[in-house]
Structure 1
C-alpha cells in the first residue's frame, strides 16, 4: 500500500523535484510569478519580526500588529492561489505586478494608520516595495501607483482616526506626508530610468542573440549555395564515426561532382556557373530524408552524409537525384545550356577507419564514375 512518502505528487513525498512542481506549478510563467511572490516573504517576514519585537518591548499594541500581519499574509496567500490556479495567465499582465504593488501600498497605508510609533518604518518600507516591482510596470501604472500612494495613506489614516483606532498629530503628519510626497516622485524618476535601462538591456540581449545566430549560421553555411560548408560536415563526419564506434551502426558518404563544370564556366562564364551551383543546391535538398546532410565540399563538389543507412538505399536516392536534374529545364537558366548531370562516388564507413580513409575511398569511387562515362554512381566497397 502506497504512503504519502511514495507519492511524487505530494509536497511531503520523497521526490523534491515533484514537490517543487506541485508547489510552483509547471507553466514557466506561473513558476516565475510564484518565485517572485516568494521573494516578498523576506521583507514581509522581517517587517513583522521587527513589529513583533516592538510588541514584546511594549512599544506597539499586539492586536494591531496581529491584524496587520494577518492582512499581509492573507493577501500573499490570495496571490499565490490566483497564480497556482493559472488564473493569472488569462490576464494581460500575468505577473500581477501592478496588483501586488497596490496591495503592498494598502498594507503600508494600514500600518501607517494603526502603528503610530512605526510610521517612519512604514514610509521606509514603502520605498522598498515600490522599487521591488516598479521596473516591471508601465509608465502609466507607475504614475497611478505614485498618485494613489499618498491618497491611500491619507484616506486610511483619516478613517482610522475617525474610528478611534489611531491618534492624529496634524503637524507631524504634514511633515511625514511631505516626505512621502518627495520620495515617491524621486522613486518615480529612478524607476523610469531603471525601466529604460532594463528595456535597453533586453533589446541589446535580443540583438546579440540574433547576431550570434547569424554568425553561427555563417560559420556552418556556404555563402554561395546556402548549404552546409566543408568545415561543418567534417565535424559531423567525426561525430558520426564516434557514434558508429559506440553503437556499431555504419553510415554512408556520397561525393557528387557536377559533370563538365569547367566547360560550363568556359562557355557561359563564372556567373552562370554560380547559378548552376545554386540551382543544384535548390533542387537536391527537398529530395533528401530529414537525417541526411548535404554540404558543398568545394568547387563543384557536394558531399552527402547518410547516417544509419546501407549503400543500397543511398544508390536509389542518388538515382532519384539524377532524375531530378534530368527533368530540370536548364535552357530556362541560360540559352544554349546543356543538361546538367553529376557523377557520384559512394562508400560505407568502417569503424576501424579514420575519416580521411573513408573520404579517400569515396573519392576513388567518384574518379571511377567519371572515368566510366559520367552521370552515374559507383560504389566503393571497403578493402
Structure 2
C-alpha cells in the first residue's frame, strides 16, 4: 500500500523521483506559509487582509503549477525538467514581495532568500544558475526602489539599502558558487561520457577485427562456448560453417593488398546482409571466416544459407577499382550434437572445407555428425 502510494506520488523513475522530491519539499514549505498567514499573521493583524489574500493566491499558483507539470511528464524533454529555476524565482519573488509589504517578515527575509538559492546548487546548469541569481538580485534591488519611490514602507531607505546591498553581495557569491557547481557537473558528465566511449571503443577493439569489423577469433570462440551451453539447455543443435575465399592469394599477388582488403570488407558486408539476424559471422583468420548458425537442426539448412551468400557474391561488386572482379568461396559445414566438443565440431567443419577445396572449390561440403563405435577391447571410440 505504501509502495503503491509512493509510486503514485513520485513515480518509479529515479530521476523523476528526485525532481518530484524537490517539488514536494517546496509544496510543504508553501503549505507551512499558508498556516503562518492564516493562523498567526492575519489573526494578530501583522498583515492586512488584502495582503494575506494576495499571498494565498500567489502560493496557490505554485501549488497548482509546478508539481502537476513535473509529475505529468510534460517537462521531461525541457531544458529544466524539474522546473528548478522557475521554482527558485517564484519562491524568491514571494520573499522579496513579503520584504517590501510585510514588515514582520523582514527579519527573516534575507536569510530565507539565500536559502532558496541553495536548491539550485545540485541541479542548475551554469548559464541558468547565472541568470537565476542575476534575476533574483535584480528583483531585490527593484523592491528597494519601489519601497523608496512608492513609499511602500516607513523604514529608513538608507538603512534598508545597506541591508539589501549586503544581501545582494551574498547572492552574487552564491550565484558564482552555483555556477561553479554547474560547471563541475558538466565536466564530470563529459568525463563520464568520454570514459564510456573509451570503454566501448576498447570493448570493440577486443572483440572486433580491425579490418572487416566482424567479430575476431577470440570472441567467436566465446560465442561458440555460450552457444554450446544454450544448446545443452534447450536441446537444439547449431551449425558451424568455415568459409575460405577461393584464390585470395592470387588476388593479393595480382591486384595488390588494397584490393584484397576491399574484397574482405565487402565479403563481410554481404555476409551480414544475407545471413539471419541470429547468425554470427566472424573473421577466423586471413581469408577464412566462421559462421555460427543457432538452431539449425540439419546441416542442409546451413547449406541453404551458404548458397544464398554465394549467389549474392556472384551478383555483387566486391572492389570499386575492379568492378568486374567476383569472388567465390569454399565452405565446410558441420552440425553440433550433444556428443561434440567445440574443437570437434570445428575440426569436422574444417575437414568438410578441405573436401570442398579439393573437389574444385566454389562449393559447400557437409560433414556427417560424430558417431561412436566400439573397439575390439570394448571401449567406445569416436569417429566422423
Task: Settle same-fold status: TM greater than 0.5.
Answer: yes
Secondary structure of the equivalent of 1:353? coil
Work out which of the residue numbers 142, 166, 180 in structure 2 matches 1:193: 180
- Count of aligned pairs: 361
* Cα drift, residue 357 of structure 1: 2.3
Q: Which residue of 1 aligns with 2:62?
A: 75
Q: Note the C-alpha offset of 1:146.
A: 2.7
Aligned to 1:308: 295
1:35 aligns to 2:21 (yes or no): yes
Residues 32, 323 of structure 1: alpha-carbon distance in 2 compared, 3 angstrom cutoff: same
Tell me, yes or no, if the aligned pair for 1:227 and 1:296 is still in contact at 8 Å. yes
Structure 1 position 267 matched with structure 2 position 267: no
SS of 2:120's equivalent?
helix
Could you tell me the TM-score, scaled by structure 1's length?
0.77
Give the aligned partner of residue 216 of structure 2: 229
Maintained 8 Å contact 1:112/1:157: no
Match of 2:308 among 301, 320, 329: 320
- CA distances 1:118-141 after superposition (whole Å, capped 9, x unpaired): 645432222222232263352444
Deviation at 1:194, TM superposition (A): 2.7
Distance 1:80 1:198 in 2: 25
CA distance in 2, matches of 1:185, 1:76: 28
- Structure 1: which 5+ runs fail to align? 1-13
Distance 1:331 1:89 in 2: 48
Q: How does 1:108-127 map to 2 (within 5 A)?
A: 108-112=95-99, 119-127=106-114
Q: Give CA deviations for 1:87-141 in whole Å, capped at 9, x if unaligned.
A: 5458664432232111110232255457757645432222222232263352444
1:95 aligns with 2:96: no
Note if contact 1:109-1:157 (Cα within 8 Å) is conserved in structure 2: no
Alpha-carbon spacing, 1:40–1:382, altered in 2? closer, same or farther (3 Å) = farther
Decide which moves more: 181-190 or 81-90. 81-90
Normalising by the residue count of structure 2, what TM-score does the alignment of the two structures yield?
0.77
Q: Which runs of 5+ in 2 are unaligned?
A: 371-384
Residues 254-287 of structure 1, C-alpha deviation per residue, up to 9 Å, x if partnerless? 1111122233333333333222212212222211
Name the SS of the counterpart of 1:294 in structure 2.
strand
Residue equivalent to 2:142:
151
The residue that corresponds to 1:6 in the other structure is none
CA deviation string 1:159-216 (max 9, x = no partner): 8x84xxx873555433321211211222232233333333333333333333333332
Question: Aligned to 2:228, what secondary structure does the other structure show?
Answer: helix
1:285 alignment partner, SS class: helix
**What is the aligned partner in structure 2 of residue 343 from structure 1?**
330
Q: CA deviation at 1:292?
A: 1.3
Structure 1 residues 47 and 16, CA gap change in structure 2 (3 angstroms): closer
Contact kept in structure 1, 2:214 and 2:282, CA below 8 Å: yes
- The offset of 1:325, in angstroms, is 2.1
How does 1:37-56 map onto structure 2 within 5 Å?
37-40=23-26, 44=29
Post-superposition offset of 1:360: 1.8
Where do residues 284-299 of structure 1 align in structure 2 (5 Å cutoff)? 284-299=271-286
**How many angstroms apart in 1 are the aligned matches of 2:228 and 2:106?**
72
Cα 1:146–1:114 shift into 2, 3 Å: closer
- TM-superposed CA distance for 1:315, in Å, is 0.9
1:353 maps to what in 2?
340
By how many angstroms is 1:318 displaced?
0.3
2:314, 2:327 within 8 Å by CA — same for their partners in 1? yes
Partner of 1:23: 9
Deviates more, 1:221-230 or 1:21-30: 21-30
For the residue of structure 2 that corresponds to 1:255, the secondary structure is strand
Give the structure 2 partner of residue 130 of structure 1: 117
